Amino acid sequence: MSDNRMEVRQVELEVLRYNPETDQEPKLQKFTVPCVNEWCVLDALNYLKDNLDPTLAYRWSCHMQVCGSCGMMINGEPKLACKAMLRDYPGTIRIEPLAHFPVERDLVTVADDFMAKLKRVKPYLIPGQPRTLEDGEYKQSPEQLKRYRQYAMCINCMLCYAACPEYGLQPKFIGPAAIALAHRYNQDSRDGGRDERQEEIATNEGVWECTFVGACSEVCPKHVDPAAALQQVKVASTVDWYLEHFMSWVKK
């Protein structure tokens, strides 16, 4: 295993700094950080904080791409800092807080809006047929599991909101991850709550706001494909609309 993985090189970082107590406005600050080639951007930030500037604020925890804390703009693209490998960034690396969210401080954004939207779509199982513990588990075939599993992979990293042009223009838009999560439960064979959720997501602030740019799916680090979820919800709610308005006599 001899290669350049362990080589140390000086990496130029341009980091957005903003402290609401002391700064009028955000500015980029330059640092030169000695980095091991196999590191990720998060390792570089940790080195910076421990050795160069302990006042830098950013979120992280797992360092394994699963807690969803470390989303930031890296050279203008929304990325997980623990997934962005230095080997893929030969030049200066510009690091900014996730786009479309207010900055709380430095690389830390205010996540209130996202958290409220998650809650709004009722992202929990509303049982179709309630069971007691004595009844044991619901039966669910591997195929039924597959219908929603991908949408259950979301780590709430908010990268898709930072990538979404619609969310940038219209902050009321519920947005990709929350809609994908609603869809996840709608698709679950154990669930019976679709109608309740549709009231939130099949609206103008919901899926109809989406112009299907697909940027969300491109940046998603977990292959959730929120764009596909949005599209499926749109199709399904169109069908609902027709059923309600033109087909009501069929039911009678």
Task: Pick from 44, 111, 155, 210 the residue near ligand SF4 by CB under 6 A.
Answer: 155
Stretch that binds ligand FES, among 75-83, 84-92, 102-110, 193-201 (CB under 6 A): 75-83
> By C-beta, is 34 or 165 nearer to another protein?
34
- Tell me the closest approach of the beta carbon of residue 248 to another protein, in angstroms: 32
Spatial separation of the C-alpha atoms in residues 16 and 18, rounded to whole Å: 7
**82 touches ligand FES by CB under 6 A:** yes
**148 touches another protein by CB under 8 A:** yes
Spatial separation of the C-alpha atoms in residues 109 and 58, rounded to whole Å: 9
Stretch that binds ligand SF4, among 9-17, 37-45, 116-124, 151-159 (CB under 6 A): 151-159
**108 touches ligand FES by CB under 6 A:** no
When CB distances are held under 5 to 8 angstroms depending on the partner's kind, the choice from ligand SF4, ligand FES, another protein, none that residue 180 binds is ligand SF4
**67 touches ligand FES by CB under 6 A:** yes
Q: Tokens 């600050």 sit at which residue?
A: 29
> By C-beta, is 152 or 236 nearer to ligand SF4?
152
> By C-beta, is 86 or 224 nearer to ligand SF4?
224
| Interaction pattern, residues 104-143, with ligand SF4; x per rule: CB under 6 A | ----------------------------------------
Spatial separation of the C-alpha atoms in residues 128 and 43, rounded to whole Å: 46
Spatial separation of the C-alpha atoms in residues 165 and 168, rounded to whole Å: 5
